[in-house]
Structure 1
């Protein structure tokens, strides 16, 4: 650069004389996946049976879901019914106990304090599931009691106020029915004319009620009694009927011939006169 002018160093001739510098990069081998080695590539296989079942089983799966939902709903309904029955049983027991306590108070058998202090000797519970029902009685354990002996029968309680009221209502209803006036059978004289108005009763007693009505007064055809006959009997009956018809037709033709002859004879007599 010292022997070359400053401006000449920028010319093409000066630049051509310079040697180009090339950067050498280290040899880096790239990893290449060999396609010849088996097991390296992932393969996707389809189960044709499972695929076919999935593609054709939409309606079946829908029906199964509906069936499961219906069964669950039925279980819920049964559970609710069981709970409602248990609640009704408990309510009836409480109501019966209240009725007994009220009747005892009315009769002066026991007081409120005695009923409150007295504890129940035994408790009854009802258990129910889908298959069976169970009635369980819980009572105090006594060592002196012979448990092999049969349990004593529970004494019948006095009737509740509801039953008493219902019985009284039925008695009052029967008394009201007994007080109603009865219709005299002699006035009926075997028909309903006894309780009808006089004009209507007279019309009902008439022998020919619809005599003047031409439509209602038409005679009714008497039904022939049904009788079963065989094929041979029916054929014989048809033959006899045809023979009778033939004889009747011959008689009509003979009568017509006589009538025609008589008419001709009368005309000839008139012509001769």
Structure 2
């Protein structure tokens, strides 16, 4: 019990010692800086606009990041779709090759198809078209025919007659001169005023 009594009696000493320490740490003189006070008091609007600008910049940066992310996702999806389409084309081409049953017998000595020669100043190129490649006919089959093709009339000597269609002449727009436009405006204005006077 004595211990409790001592602690009770010495708590006041601890409080007094704390007050003395606070007095020693206390600032003896307070000096107001009028410029700092003025900038603080007048800077509310400036700080508020700065916060708004900062928030706007953050929002723009966030939107830019989102746009970049959506572009990345779009590119990734496009690459996947391209890979799928390429695989489908390969499967389709492979299926047609299997159906044809053509075994490659090596390079033939005689060229097949149409040959064309292109000659430059120093070079001569011979192009042989072996097979026209049309992917849509491979994938979807030949296009549907539109019925019987009309026979071409042959004139004298077995030559085909080619009917030429005449192009319609474009009508030239004739623009009025400035003086003519003004005269027309005056005439129309005079007619309007005449009609207005008659209506009275």
Q: Using structure 2 for the length normalisation, give the TM-score.
A: 0.35
- Kindly indicate which of the two structures has a greater share of residues assigned to helix: 2
Structure (1 or 2) with the larger CA radius of gyration: 1
Structure of higher RCO (CA pairs closer than 8 Å, 6+ residues apart)? 2
Q: Using structure 1 for the length normalisation, give the TM-score.
A: 0.27
